[in-house]
Structures are given as C-alpha cells and as structure tokens.
Chains A and B, each alone.
Chain A
Amino acid sequence: MSDPFLQVKDLRVQFPTEDGVVSAVDGVDFAVAKNKVLAIVGESGSGKSVTSQAIMGLINRKTAKVTGEIRLDGEELLTARPEQVRSLRGKRMAMIFQDPLSSLHPFYSIGKQLVEAVNVHQDVSRSAAMQQARDMLDRVGIPNPDRRLKDYPHNLSGGMRQRVMIAMALLNNPELLIADEPTTALDVTVQAQIINLLRDLQREFGTAIILITHDLGVVADMADDVVVMYGGRVVERGSIDDIYYRPEMPYTWGLLGSVPRMDAGRNERLQPIPGQPPSLIRLPKGCVFRPRCAYHELVPGNRCDTERPDLLPVTPEHAVRCHLDPAQRREIAAERLGVATADPAMEDK
C-alpha cells in the first residue's frame, strides 16, 4: 500500500456537558489511501460522524476537546491554524451529507451557490466559474444543467439535490471526499445511481473516499476497507473480505446477524444484539461492548469487566479489540455465520 493520504492517530473528541464528559470519539486510528474507499460502520452514537467532523475541522474547539493526530498528505490538521484548515476544506478535502437540504441555501440559486464554492478557492471570473459549475452538474448526471443553474433547491427532487451537493463537493477536485450517509435519505433506485456516480468519479479523479454509513449493503458494494466503530472506539478493522467473511469481534457478528438478507432463506430468524448502545458519559470500565456481549463469560478472570481490550492485529490488515482467544473467536464465527458467509478464500481455490 502506498503512503496513506489521510492518517488519523489516537483521535479523541470530548464534549463536556452538565451530566459529565461525553467521550464521543475515544482513541481512533485509521488511514485512507488515494483511490480507496474506507467505510466507517456503526450505529447511532458510535462516534462515526463526529470522527468525520473532526477531520474536516468542523468541531467547535471552544465546546469540545479534540486531541490526537490528523495528517492530510503529511500535514497535521489538529494543530494547524483555523485559516489553514479552512483553505484545505472544499479544496483538498470535501464532505457530502445525508440531508442535502440542510447544506444547500434555500434562498440562492444552484448556480450562485456553485459559483461561490468555486470562487472561494479559485481566482477566476464569474463566467469561468459558472462554466465550471455547469460542467460539473453535467458530470454528475443532471439533465439540462444550464436550466438547473437558475433553479432553487426546492425545485429539485431529493436525488437531484444530492447530485448538486456532490457536484459542489467535487468542484475543486478534492483529493479526499467524506460521504456521511450519502444515500440514507434516498430511494434504492436513486441510491444505485449515486453509488455508481461516486465510483465513476473516483475512477476519474483517484479520490480517497471515507464512506460513513450504517448500511452494510452499501458498504459491501463500495468499500475496500472497513472500520467498525462502537461506543467511540474502533472495535474491528480490516479489508472488506475480512469484515464480511472473517469477522472476529462479537459486535461485528451482531451487526451481520441483524441485517435481513434478501438472498437468504426467508424463515431464518434474525439474530439481534440484545440491549441498547452505551451511554457515552458512563462508558463501561472494561470492553465497551461487554454489556451486550454474549461471550464475555468465555474469557477467564472477568477481564471484559475490568480491562479495556487493545486493538490487536490478527493479520497485518485485520485488527480486533476483543479479549476472546483468537481460536475461540474463529470457532464461534464459523458457527454463527454459517455456510452463507463461509471463508471465500476456500471457494476461490
């Protein structure tokens, strides 16, 4: 693997509140290379969105404590001056959000908003900027781009707005694109169009993409590598095949068992994870997943209650945060995930 374009090390984000300190992100490490898609998977409160906001420099440092290291192409962002981060944002890194309506101004035409996005980073004339905007709308598959430039956000359908937002994010050819639940609000047929579009654009520009989602189908479709987050921590990290076919963390098993599969037998009962996600104020002392884990009794000496597990490598790419013995984990995984997700390496041979 080439040098990672983005490197996040021991990232921590804490919000002090009246009830105590919320540790939204609690020591997160990962890296993304150019031309790759890294998916960050997790449920509400897992810290996945806060992680992305921290990378983009969107967290108000007056109300939150952010520590660790975020390096974009070698440049440290957390200690950089705000103006410096602002000049990178939109140019070298850009973000698209779940809800395009909240990121498009209802009062200005699409054209005006896109031109502004160009002019923030490029010293070009208005007509040149408008031309760039037009070309980008065309590129993201919006019919009649000339007419659309004059439209306002409310004139467009949800899928079209999402495309406009993607166009806006891509205007300055960012090298890193963070997509936070980019298709969650969309219908499946539109989702398929948007995923296709992101893939085409990546092929063309070689963008590094961080895809934040809870949808394991979208992840399977797009990602090269996956980070699974729970309670603000990375609990498992690996290649897409590691996570889907050789998962070793009980939470990952739980996620995979919770998703109804269109390609499986209908009468298979779902295997949900019992209980609720943890409160980020009073995190358990040992493993964050311990209260919902069915296997903690297999670990001798109550270690899951008392000792925080480290993220330990299984292979150079695959790492797991769990006290269970590796052989034991593999045995349980084989039993839980059954034949449907048996090791594909075996079938390949």
Chain B
Amino acid sequence: MILDSKTPSGPLAEKWTNHKFNVKLVNPANKRKYEIIVVGTGLAGASAAASLAELGYNVKAFCFQDSPRRAHSIAAQGGINAAKNYQNDGDSVFRLFYDTVKGGDYRSREANVYRLAEVSVNIIDQCVAQGVPFAREYGGLLANRSFGGAQVSRTFYARGQTGQQLLLGAYSALSRQVANGKVKLFPRTEMLDVVIIDGKAQGIVTRNLITGTIESHSAHAVLLCTGGYGNVFFLSTNAMGSNVTAAWRAHKKGAYFANPCYTQIHPTCIPVSGDHQSKLTLMSESLRNDGRVWVPKTVEIAEKLRKKEIKPADIPDEDRDYYLENKYPSFGNLVPRDVASRNAKYVCDEGRGVNETGEAVFLDFRDAILRDGEDLVRSKYGNLFDMYHQITGENPYKTPMMIYPAVHYTMGGLWVDYNLMTTIPGLYALGEANFSDHGANRLGASALMQGLADGYFVIPYTVGNYLATQPYDKPSEDHPAFKQSEEEVKEKLERLLSIKGEKTVDYYHKKLGKIMWNYCGMARSADGLAKAKSMIKELKEEFWTNVRVLGTEEELNQSLEKANRVADFLELGELMIDDALNRNESCGGHFREEYQTPEGEALRDDENYAYVAAWEYKGENQDEQLHKEELVFENVKLTQRSYK
C-alpha cells in the first residue's frame, strides 16, 4: 500500500481554504442519518463529539473514566499557543507554523502544521465564547506568556490550569449536546476492538467496566481520540489509566502506527523519590520563564549537597553553573524540551545532580522573587508551587525546586492523512493519538492547540467528505464481524484470568517501564535497543504464563483492566524499539548516541530519514512492515536546529 497523505495542492497558505471548499458536504437533513463513534473525551474527543453533534450527526462518546470531564487533558498546565499576535511582537500564522516545524526537528508534515497554526486563532475565540476564564490584563484583554522554543509571547493561559479550563469548556459543549439528545454518553466503558466490514471501520466492541458486559456499537465512522502511550514507561506524567489499547487494537486491525519511537521527555518534573512511585508529576514549563536552571560547577559541591552538608542557598553564584543560559545564550532557560532534558541528563551523568539519587537539577526562583516580589511570583505560579510543596514537603519560595526529566507526551501515533483518516477507511485519529503535527518533538502549549484544532475545526469538515460517499444503512450489531470481534475480546480476557500465575500486573508493567526508560528513553543506542528487544520478548512470554489476575470478567475488576492494557504495552514496546533501531539518526526526542554533533546536539540525516515511518502489523510475533511517507519541505529550510 502506498501512503497517500492526500495533502491538497496549491500554495501552503491556501491549502486548507481550498480543501474546505473542495470537500464533499453532507446536507443538514441527511446528517442525522449518520452515526459517529468518538472514543475518548479529552480535548480532541470532547470537542469533536460536541462539534459533530452541533452539525446534526448522531454521536456516541465513550470514556473509561467515570465522567468525560476527567480525561487527562485536564492535567495540562501551562497554556495553549495561538498566532493572535495580540502582543505586537511579530507573531504570525507563518511564524507559529515555522516554530512548530523547527521545534519538531523537521519531521512533521508541513501542510498539517500550517493548518494547525491557521486555526489556532479560532480556538481562542471559541474557548472565550464558552466562558473559559483565561488570564487577563488590567485593561480586560487577554494576557500572554512566552514558552519554550519561541521568541514571541503567544501562549494563552488560565493560571497553571489551562488544560482543565479548556477541557471543562469542551465538556460543557459536550454536555449541552448530551442534553439535546445528539450525543449518547458511555462513561466507564473501554473500547477493546474496532470492527472492520467491507474494508471500512463500522463500529467498535467495548467492555462496560462496571458490569463487565461486552457490547458492540455500529456506526458510519469511528474517531479515536484516545491520547498517547507514555505509560509504556510505567512512570510518566500520564494519568494512571492512560493507555494505548484502543489505538493498538486498531493497529492490529490494519491502521499503520507512525513514528512510535518519538517520545517526549519533559524537562521539568518532580524527581523520582523511591520504588513505590506510581507516577511522576510535571511542573509546568511556564516556570522556565522565571526560574533559572542550575547545578553546582563541581562534582565536589554536588556531593556535599547530596549528603545535605550544605544548602543550595549556601552556594555562591560563582560556583553555580546556569548551564542552559551559558550554553544557549539566546534562548537560555527557554530552549525546547528535548534540548533542556538532554542537558539535564548530561550534567547529572557528570555527577553534578543535586538530590539524593543524583538525578535532579535546580529550578531556582530566588532571582525572580528578588526582582518581582513573592506576591507576583505567587500570582503566576501559586498553584504549581503549592503542588510542589505538597508532594515534596519543601517550600519552593524558600529553597529552589528540584526537577528532572520524565516521559510526558508521545509524538508518534496512528498514521493519518490530511483528513485525519488512518489507513482504515472510516477510522480517524485525533489529538495525541495521531502522529501528524509535532514531528520528533512537540513544543510547549501545542498539545492543547492540536487537540482542539482537530476536534473543533478539522474533523467537522473532513469527516463529511467521507460520509457523503457512504450509504445511510449501517451494519447490524448482530453482523458476524461484530460477533467474532466480541468473541476475540472475551477470549483474551478469559486467557488473562486463566493464567493464575505468581506475579502481579504492576510487577510486569514496572519491569517493562525500566527497560524502556533505560534503553529507549532519553538516549538510545543500537546495542542497547537490540538488548531491550530481547528483554521485552522474554518479559512478554513470562507475562502470558505467570501473571496473576484475580476476580472475574463480570464485575468491576481493575486488575483485569490493567492486565489487558499492559498486554498491549508489551507489544507496543517492541515496535517502539524496532522504530528507534530503524531510525539511524537523532532528531528531537529520538536521540541515538551514535548520531550527535561535536556539541552533543541531535544530528539528523535528512537525506535518508526525512520520512514518516509507518508500521504495518503482520500478525502475532511477526516483524512489522515499514512503509515510508517521504516528507517534502517546500516552505521551511532544513537546518541544524540552533537555540544558541
């Protein structure tokens, strides 16, 4: 199969406008004859479900949480980018586009990114109209702040809870459509398979998490808005329930998985404190606006710190290494995430880490508090400081925060064309679940932008183009394809319950996470990856013979839910490693130790690797087949990324 991105022809700035004119329309009276399934109710899912219902389609929305409002978009802190140029500082749609492609280390599709930048301005308007209480200036207009990877202030925010406010906005729009009867909501329901009939996605099979009932739902189109797969690392900033299962089951049914090795390690997270740790907490990147990142200049001083013989405040400025400011004078502490994370790893690898484990650097607000006063700092970051205080027991107004990189976001995901359709007709992927907009590294405040762009402003146009060619009739849920899928799903659950082994699901998940973090994390090498691959193979085998899942299928059974998800993570882990091994270059979040510049920056190989790696599932324990979508850059000049 040849991957056709279906990117419209014509000049970059006119592609989307032309495409919107050229797509087929479904007449308003006919929209009610179509049913669309939306899986996931985060920013992408909730905004898509609401917008499609407003247009007149019948929507079924599914989430595994007890309420759509709890999807993990809610935890996004810092902000959302938009090329409004309200600050008169030289921003434009083209600049946002350019920054995003460059930030992604030139591994994203130009046309998609341009469209993203283009609709970014509409998102802010939409959210304000819904009553999202963005931060404002005294004159009553919207406030902005700057974020990593950009030299303009284009980030809109609602204190450190921007994701929450945007999601509650989308959730309110969704709730209105539930009340209107246009959206039927299925909380605590997990999608376990997508059903393909006549080569098209025609529905899904789900498990009711309370009763355990396996059910089929047929539809004319299926939208996967199911987020990323960062929990393959066990420890990440993702929610505990975030999982790859929906996307992975679609992959096994024929949807290609693109660039799985592109994972983002966020530089500002609270360091790991012990083996009991279940998740990592992000400290918003916005903190890097005012906080200064440093470690001691020498290993000796760092050792004294680790032994608690001295306090951070005892170290005079001349003994501090503000390494980001020194190395990247023009971007300073605001370098993109991949660069900031890698440098934190370097200084800690040198033995200059500042906490007991040696895996932490300081994020210091001393100078900001001296300059602006504690009150102003509190008004900007109060909730983040409180959160830090609660988790660590230390007061960041008095002593510098300690931070370390952690897995945060996955740029890879299901391959989609310009219309956000996967390689299965009628199956779409939106938001973090797809691969399309962030290349090999996502810039801060761009995830919220992409989720809402896809849901509010892209899918309402592109899904119509497909549905307009589809008959109104849809297959019955008694169709043999649904029955077969239900059987397969049940069989898998029964198999997990029947193993009755020795070790818990978390035991395997933690082991998998350690392998992924050590060999497929911030730095990767061919040897390490090869080793990791065989380790995962072994682990997978052991999992399927020795995992212990208690209880039954016909009840709320959280161990069974977890086991089912971890089984998919084990398979995904292998594919991530294959992808990382295949990509013999470094780009963005994918850093292969063999490929670096003399300064230790990522060294791309544009000649051989300027493509999207899209993987096709070939069956149980078979190697997947690689398909390439060549990336064409007509508007951006590929250069060695420099933030100096």
A pairs with B: no
